[in-house]
Amino acid sequence: MATSVTFTVDELPDCTVVHAAGDIDAGNRDELAEAITRGRRRGRPLILDFSAVTFLDSSGLHVLLNAHARAARGERDFHLAALHPRVARLFRITGVLRLLQVHASVEQARTAAVTSGQHMVES
């Protein structure tokens, strides 16, 4: 049975922010992938706000790594922001925190996305 997760998209002048809320697992990972795809349609940097994501399993992590790989191949910048402590712990344990552009807040991610696009990691 899939757990509950919601995604809302904010189209800002300089980037797109996808706000996620709930638990992300194998039952709803396709919803995460679709939210990322929707967020990229505008061709601007994409920020995923994970402040309200309280659980992420390996299938959700896989979706994020795929999004990162696509960004590395020349698609728009991909940033994560405001990780819940449990999700941040998973990222640290798996080493993913070193790979992804992760920021302490959406505002910090937005600044990084629109100014330098450089890889910034904050814990």
pLDDT tens-place string over residues 32-58: 999 999 888 877 889 999 999 999 999
Domains of the chain: 5-115 (3.30.750.24)
Question: Does the structure show a pLDDT above 60 at 119?
Answer: no
Rg of the chain taking only CA atoms, in angstroms: 13
Cross-strand partners of 16: 11, 46
> pTM to 2 decimals?
0.84
Query: Would you tell me the crossing angle of helices 58-72 and 29-40 to the nearest 10 degrees?
Result: 20
What DSSP state is assigned to residue 47? E
Determine the Cα angle at 110 with ends 122 and 11, to 5°. 140
Query: Which pLDDT score, from 0 to 100, does residue 117 have?
Result: 47
What is the spatial distance between Cα 17 and Cα 9, in angstroms, rounded to a whole number? 6
pLDDT tens-place string over residues 73-91: 876 688 999 999 999 999 9
Query: Quick check: 32 and 5 in contact, CB under 8 A?
Result: yes
